[in-house]
Amino acid sequence: MQQRDKLFINGSWVTPHGTGFIDVIHSATEDVMGKIPEGDARDAENAIAAARAAFDAWSATPPSVRADYIRKIAEGLKARSEELAQMIAGEVGMPIKLARAIQVGGPVYNWGQAAALLDQFAFEEQVGNSLVVREPVGVVAAITPWNYPLNQITLKVAPALAAGCTVVLKPSEVAPLNAFVLAEVIEAAGLPPGVFNLVTGYGPVVGEVLASHPDVDMVSFTGSTRAGKRVSELAAQSVKRVALELGGKSASVILDDADLPTAVKGTIGACYLNSGQTCSAHTRMLVPRSRYEEVKAIAAKVVEGFTVGDPLADTTKLGPLISAVQKERVTGYIRRGLDEGAELVAGGPDTPAGLDRGFFVKPTVLGNVDPKATVAQEEIFGPVLSVICYDTEDEAIRIANDSIYGLGGGVWSGDESRAIRVARRIRTGQVDINGGPFNMNAPFGGFKQSGNGREGGKFGLEEFLEYKSLQLKKPA
């Protein structure tokens, strides 16, 4: 078990003012795998003060020097990759092979990319008689979730540091151990004191201080739409910048000329990644009504291949959910879907056989779901796919857009130009065309109640920069 009893503030590991501890529970065994400090408001305030004091010097540090620090951090994380993969597989439940590639490989890549961007990013340009410069927004509070813990931290902290901002990080208390490893790596890289600070604790205490404090210039938050609304309310009092990456209810639209087996398999894979604990998961599969029986047969067969079990076993394709609360939430949605008239194609609300310990849920497909049903409208955050039938292309697009969310989605067609045409009509931040792979350098973020702002590549760096125009006297 990992016992953490200090916070990382102003370049040092310090004893928190908060006296409590928070248990970190292993998702597959339900054992306590670690303890972290329950920081309080004073700890958050101290971290903000350290970040504010460090900002002037860090923002004036040349981009090439900032890039050198960031490369050291990328190298430090890479050196601890296996430790981090095992840790996050336990915290979150993602199978170890995927945890190595996604939960750790993604952050290592993104830290490296943040450094590489600094070698080419144009921080200033001439526009007429104006010199337009890009300057860091200031002190950034990064509040991050548990589902892709290190990667969501990275997508905020790495570009913020690259931009010249200083940072206070509050990771999710549910999957926080990886954040302490990152702090150790940052310390070893020699980042100046106060540039990066780590405070753990609960959102209503630490998070609310970070979102409301007048010395914080920007809050970057990833989490539920409900919590994102609260962050926005608090941040509005000091008119600070807010970036939000929130919930989703993404639709995979399978058109009538699609390769049906490939499209169904691809959609299920995009729904079940990380046991469905993915904000952009394709949780609604829209299919031509005339092909519904075929879809059911294909889906049932595909789901049989999702072996549920220990995330540390190489044969596991679907691990547990993060917590008992999440398991109860997801199984409750499955029952509600059935109560509201959905057909059970695969899975169901019962615990998988032989897996009484751990937060395991059967991979589930609900068929013939009404577009207005609860399971078609609300984010479930588990391995639950709703199959919705449509009669025309226009109806499919209307159903896809009938959501308060707009984060991800997919379109499948034998004609790529048709798929692109349909994708342009879907109000969402990214759309996969025929299973196109995720691009870590493309902008990631949402429309509507999925949030605002973008992460990834140069687009993520730009979130942490302000424009300044210097009007130059025209030559005589």
Pseudo-torsion of CA 419, 424, 430, 431, nearest 10°? Answer: -10
Give all strands (DSSP E) within 26-97, no chain letters.
Answer: 32-38
The tokens describing 452, both together, are 């605002």
Q: 167 Cβ partners below 8 Å, 6+ apart?
A: 51, 139, 140, 141, 142, 156, 157, 160, 161, 195, 196, 197
Give yes or no: 165 in active site. no
Cα separations in angstroms, 313 against 76, 178, 248, 360: 26, 20, 30, 15
Q: Are 132 and 469 in contact (CB under 8 A)?
A: yes
Catalytic residue among 165, 271, 279, 389: 279
Distance separating alpha carbons of residues 253 and 288, to the nearest angstrom: 9
Catalytic residue among 245, 379, 455, 463: 245
Give yes or no: 455 in active site. no
Q: 86 Cβ partners below 8 Å, 6+ apart?
A: 96, 99, 312
Distance separating alpha carbons of residues 455 and 162, to the nearest angstrom: 13
For the chain, the maximum distance between any two Cα atoms, rounded to a whole number of angstroms, is: 84
Q: What angle do CA 405, 420, 267 make, to 5 degrees?
A: 60
Cα separations in angstroms, 174 against 47, 116, 122, 206, 210: 21, 32, 38, 14, 19
Q: 52 Cβ partners below 8 Å, 6+ apart?
A: 139, 166, 215
Q: Where are the alpha helices (DSSP H) in 344-438?
A: 374-377, 393-401, 416-424
Catalytic residue numbers read 245, 279
